[in-house]
């Protein structure tokens, strides 16, 4: 089999996957609009379709289910994750019932959020849920899991406009934070989202998908104070090379599974990628590549208090000329604005700042 034959085969796989996703809506549609009679069940059906496809294509050592990730030592529980990829060779789930699982943080290889249609308003919440996993599941002698948001349609029809909206949400979600002392803190590379994939629309991903193959690690920094950065690239609206959507998703999972830090063998490229014409989109500055969870003691800067509103005195009317005008001094004490005291940070925040 040559590269072209593999690509044609994956084109067919892409078509079967997208056709299966539409089955629920085709069989139980809502008459007056392009939707199913039950959006919740349709969403669960799509998650199962993608999970079953990944189960067939990934190494048997990767367990697949949906549910929650727990950190017993950190007393943390993730939000509900549509598809969790975990190391089933070295770890057993805390709880497993059918496809529903609760797995330990140390076992996580990847987390995927799945949407039938991705709306712009959903981006901040989805990015935050995935980033919380990366922030905790790295820096403790096991590598960063792959974090992906996968959808089969999106709100905007134009791929370029849709990818610009997605990257704007990434920029906002991973913007530097200022604490109460006025110090600026950057995120770490392990917190960043790796993929936003909307089938037949666009692929947005990090250019360096491992801390060893990120271009910024292969060259000396111009200055020691210059922050590291993670570059994002994108491509979109492929018709002939439809296989790239599946290939990028599988490739990201393979890289996390075969990461040297996990102790697995590092293979050569398992997938014959076509020329997908990736274009530079932008970069997110980071402080370090991997670190343990560092936001527990972070106290954000207190926003400036809103200016007080003064109530204007009412002018006397002809019908009530005997009544004195009601002025601001007559306002009950409980309705006056109270000044919010400035918060002080009493703890040292364990951050690495560049």
Residue-wise pLDDT tens digits, 25-40: 888 877 766 777 777 7
Read off the pLDDT of residues 156-184 as tens digits, 9 standing for 90 and up: 999 999 999 999 999 999 999 999 998 99
Closest CA to 154 of 99, 100, 196, 110: 196
pLDDT of 27: 84
CA-based radius of gyration for the chain: 25
pLDDT of 5: 84
pLDDT of 275: 64
Q: Is 166 helix (H, G, I), strand (E, B) or coil?
A: helix
Question: Which of the residue ranges 41-45, 160-164, 243-247 has the most confident prediction, judged by mean pLDDT?
Answer: 160-164
Kindly give, in sequence order, each residue whose CB lies less than 8 Å from that of residue 318, ignoring residues fewer than 6 positions away: none
CB 13 within 8 A of CB 52: no
Read off the pLDDT of residues 99-148 as tens digits, 9 standing for 90 and up: 999 999 999 999 999 999 999 999 999 999 999 999 988 765 668 899 99
Read off the pLDDT of residues 205-234 as tens digits, 9 standing for 90 and up: 998 644 544 444 444 444 455 668 899 999
> In the structure, what pLDDT confidence band is assigned to residue 263 with cuts at 50, 70 and 90?
low
Query: Looking at per-residue confidence, does 258 or 140 come out higher?
Result: 258
Q: Average pLDDT, whole number, for the chain?
A: 79
d(C-alpha 113, C-alpha 12), whole Å = 24
Point out the least confidently predicted range of 153-162, 175-184, 235-244, 251-260.
Answer: 235-244
> In the structure, what pLDDT confidence band is assigned to residue 310 with cuts at 50, 70 and 90?
low
Percent share of the chain, pLDDT over 70: 72
Is residue 202 scored above 80 in pLDDT?
yes
Query: Looking at per-residue confidence, does 249 or 139 come out higher?
Result: 249
CB 261 within 8 A of CB 142: yes
Is residue 354 scored above 70 in pLDDT?
no
Kindly give, in sequence order, each residue whose CB lies less than 8 Å from that of residue 143, ignoring residues fewer than 6 positions away: 256, 259, 261, 262, 290
> In the structure, what pLDDT confidence band is assigned to residue 315 with cuts at 50, 70 and 90?
low
Query: Looking at per-residue confidence, does 318 or 348 come out higher?
Result: 318
Angle between helices 243-257 and 3-27 (to 10 degrees): 100
Is residue 51 scored above 60 in pLDDT?
yes
Closest CA to 257 of 7, 93, 59: 59
Q: Where are the domains of the chain?
A: 3-286
CB 159 within 8 A of CB 211: no
> In the structure, what pLDDT confidence band is assigned to residue 313 with cuts at 50, 70 and 90?
low
Angle CA(342)–CA(343)–CA(345) in degrees, nearest 5? 140
pLDDT of 65: 96
pLDDT of 221: 47
Query: Looking at per-residue confidence, does 307 or 183 come out higher?
Result: 183
pLDDT of 322: 46
Start-to-end C-alpha separation, the chain: 48
Read off the pLDDT of residues 273-297 as tens digits, 9 standing for 90 and up: 666 678 899 999 998 888 888 888 8
pLDDT of 128: 95
Beta bridge partners of 235: 203
pLDDT of 270: 57
Query: Looking at per-residue confidence, does 323 or 257 come out higher?
Result: 257
Q: Is 38 helix (H, G, I), strand (E, B) or coil?
A: coil
Phi, psi of 311 (to 5 degrees): -90, 130
Closest CA to 267 of 243, 246, 250: 250
């Amino acid at each position: 089999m040559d590269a072209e034959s593999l690509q044609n085969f994956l084109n067919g796989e892409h078509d079967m996957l997208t056709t299966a996703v539409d089955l629920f809506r085709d069989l139980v549609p809502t008459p007056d609009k392009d939707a199913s009679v039950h959006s919740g069940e349709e969403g669960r059906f799509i998650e199962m379709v993608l999970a079953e496809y990944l189960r067939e294509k990934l190494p048997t050592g990767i367990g697949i289910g949906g549910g929650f990730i727990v950190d017993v030592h950190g007393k943390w529980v993730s939000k509900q994750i549509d598809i969790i990829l975990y190391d089933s060779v070295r770890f057993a789930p805390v709880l497993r019932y059918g496809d529903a699982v609760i797995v330990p943080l140390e076992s996580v290889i990847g987390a995927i959020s799945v949407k039938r249609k991705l709306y712009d308003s959903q981006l901040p919440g989805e990015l935050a849920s995935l980033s919380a996993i990366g922030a905790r599941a790295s820096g403790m002698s096991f590598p960063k899991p792959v974090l992906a948001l996968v959808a089969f349609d999106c709100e905007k029809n134009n791929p370029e406009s849709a990818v610009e909206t997605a990257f704007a949400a990434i920029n906002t979600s991973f913007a530097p934070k200022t604490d109460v002392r006025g110090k600026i803190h950057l995120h770490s590379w392990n917190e960043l989202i790796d993929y936003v994939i909307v089938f037949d629309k666009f692929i947005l991903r990090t250019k360096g998908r491992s801390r060893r193959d990120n271009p910024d690690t292969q060259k000396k920094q111009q200055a020691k104070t210059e922050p590291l950065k993670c570059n994002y690239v994108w491509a979109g609206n492929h018709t002939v090379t439809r296989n790239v959507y599946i290939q990028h998703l599988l490739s990201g999972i393979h890289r996390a599974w075969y990461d040297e830090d996990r102790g697995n063998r590092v293979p050569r490229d398992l997938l014959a990628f076509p020329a997908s014409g990736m274009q530079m989109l932008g970069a997110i500055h980071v402080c370090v590549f991997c670190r343990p969870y560092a936001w527990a003691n972070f106290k954000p800067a207190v926003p400036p208090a809103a200016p007080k509103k003064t109530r204007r005195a009412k002018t006397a009317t002809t019908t009530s000329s005997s009544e004195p005008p009601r002025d601001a001094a007559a306002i009950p004490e409980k309705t006056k604005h109270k000044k919010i005291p400035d918060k002080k940070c009493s703890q040292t925040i364990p951050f690495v700042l560049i």
